[in-house]
């Protein structure tokens, strides 16, 4: 199970062994991140809208579909992609979970990285809620 933590027989000190172990662990996680890039997902799934609302980011983009979220995750720098919240979002994407579940995790990941545009997010979510409950005229 922990085959990625093999200790190098040449490692003579505890510090060197730890460095070798951590290098293997990072390589193992990088392989998981690369899996998102090489997997083919159903077109219908990628076209599904993020629900209950789109997610605005601070780089002036809005993630509206699962395909948008996937493209955003693929473009993440390696340091951000290796964080636990993005790893979890990648696993959910590969499992093709319901759009609401994926939306919630991507929202958490964006928030944790400080990349969720809070002002635009409040505006989008309240505007949608208002439209849903507005009286028909």
Whether the Cβ atoms of residue 47 and residue 67 lie closer than 8 Å to each other: yes
Give the pLDDT score at 40: 85
What confidence tens digit (pLDDT) does each residue in 30-58 have? 444 444 556 789 999 999 999 988 999 99
DSSP annotation of 95: T
What confidence tens digit (pLDDT) does each residue in 47-96 have? 999 998 899 999 889 999 999 999 999 999 999 999 999 999 999 999 99
Give the CA count within 13 Å in the CB-facing half-sphere of 3.
1
């Amino acid at each position: 199970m922990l085959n990625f933590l093999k200790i190098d027989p040449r490692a003579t000190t505890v510090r060197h062994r730890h460095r070798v172990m951590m290098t293997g662990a990072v390589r193992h996680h990088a392989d998981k991140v690369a899996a998102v890039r090489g997997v083919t997902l159903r077109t219908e799934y990628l076209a599904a809208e993020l629900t209950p609302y789109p997610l605005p980011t601070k780089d002036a983009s809005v993630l509206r579909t699962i395909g948008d979220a996937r493209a955003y995750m693929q473009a993440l720098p390696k340091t951000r992609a290796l964080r636990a919240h993005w790893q979890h979002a990648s696993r959910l994407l590969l499992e093709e979970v319901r759009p609401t579940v994926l939306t919630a995790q991507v929202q958490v990941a964006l928030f944790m990285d400080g990349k969720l545009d809070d002002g635009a997010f409040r505006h989008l979510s309240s505007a949608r809620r208002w439209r849903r409950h507005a009286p028909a005229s």
